[in-house]
Homo-oligomer: A and B are copies of this chain.
Amino acid sequence: MQDKQYLMIPGPTPVPPTVTAAMSKPIIGHRGDEFAQLHKRIVEKLQIVFQTRNDIFVVTHSGTGALETAIANTVSPGDKVLSLITGNFGERFANIARAYGAELIAVEFGWGNDVDLRVVEEKLKEHPDIKVVLATQNETSTGVVNDIAGIGALVAETPALLLVDGVSGVGAIEIKVDEWNVDMLCVASQKALMLPPGLAMVTASAKAWEIINKNQSPRFYFSMPAHRKSYEKLNTAYTPGVSLFYGLEAALDMMLAEGMSNVFARHALLARATRAAIKEIGLRLLAEDRCASNALTAVWSPEGIGADEIRKVAKNQYGVAFAGGQGILKGKAMRIAHMGFCDKTDILVAVGALEMALARVGYPVQLGAGVRAAQEVFLGRA
């Protein structure tokens, strides 16, 4: 049977039937009152999820476009940018700043490690003219979560702006934009927000607007001033992905009905069960428990067996898709996402299929042991 598929990659993630149904509604004009009201409701609901009273713009492109929006509106050629890199997506954020002519101070914390706050403090002191700091909340390539509250507290004491890549974390892992001093947050639709790809969200603080309003880089589709001017009339500057807006409201309604603290607790539980299972199976986790993500778990492949070989069996034999390693982890690691429309049974499926795939490729696995470890977490026995 080829139709029973489980998508356990860190985006795009499975879309709930309620969201699919909402997206199937007839298209409406994007300049009419019906769209304006939908737009307003969505922004108000996002303010709850992001814990902010700042402006939020819902924009029609994927997450990388949101990262570029943050850069294009705050970085001019020659500006000093501190880039806190913990993996592939930290590198991407830095590369965008480079494309906009930034003078980059790139700090690599190592794949699997999180940002060391002492280094951040040191760099900010060493370069008081840093204009922008780039950080990743949840590093999708390694399954590491960074301490945005800690970084935010340090950056807030300087004139620099803190831009945060929240693409794969927000909605799965708590973020407090206002309390944590996040000047611009970038989010995308196809991760914990349970939508297909194609929408992104960008926030901006008052501190950010002072820079945005006078930035010199070319910007049009990504222009924050254009977004703001249109939002004053509840419009979007350019044609919005109307069907994704329908879906976004349905997804936000699901999340708010569950309650955001319950959403975060569910992700924490799924992550804990996954990690317990992996340990029981005898595989090595990429991230220390201390900085392990609740959105996805990255796992080293066993000695002598390629990660992609295991993934191929899991996908072809059991319909379970895990993500591969990125960058330097290619072929060496695999990633199990547990974000968005994901619950306990999905973890049983993931772990059970992983055990069978490992058995098939010749790894000495004790079948059911990982599943049992996950079950024990779910039953509160571990």
Contacts and interface: CB of A to CB of B under 8 A. Distances in A.
Interface of A: 5, 7, 9, 11-15, 20, 23-24, 26-32, 60-65, 68, 72, 95-96, 99-101, 188, 190, 196-199, 217-223, 238-244, 315, 321, 323-324
A238 B64 contact: yes
Most buried by B among A64, A101, A239: A239
B220 A96 contact: yes
B99 A218 contact: yes
Nearest to A71: B220
A324 B31 CA distance: 10
Contact of A12 (B13, B14, B27, B198): B27
Nearest to A246: B196
Interface centre among A62, A217, A315 (most CB of B within 10 A): A62
A199 B243 CA distance: 12
8 contacts: A7-B27, A11-B239, A23-B23, A60-B198, A96-B220, A99-B219, A217-B218, A241-B241
A298 B235 CA distance: 23
B26 A14 contact: yes
Nearest to A96: B220
Contact of A23 (B24, B29, B96): B24
Given A11-B239, A28-B7, A100 B23 contact: no
A197 B241 contact: yes
Contact of A60 (B7, B11, B62, B238): B62
Contacts of A223: 99
A323 to B, nearest CB: 7
Nearest to A21: B24
Nearest to A28: B7
A323 B241 contact: no
B196 A241 contact: yes
A184 to B, nearest CB: 16
B239 A62 contact: yes
A320 to B, nearest CB: 11
Contacts of A60: 61-62, 65, 197-198
**Minimum-distance CB pairs A-B, first 6:** A198-B241, A196-B243, A61-B61, A62-B239, A64-B238, A65-B221
Contact of A30 (B12, B241, B243, B244): B12
Contacts of A65: 60-61, 65, 221, 238
B188 A239 contact: yes
- The residue in A101, A221, A321, A324 that gathers the most chain B C-beta atoms within 10 A of its C-beta is A221
Contacts of A220: 64, 68, 95-96, 99
Contacts of A32: 315, 321
Nearest to A30: B12
A29 B99 contact: no
Contact of A242 (B188, B196, B323): B196
Nearest to A315: B32
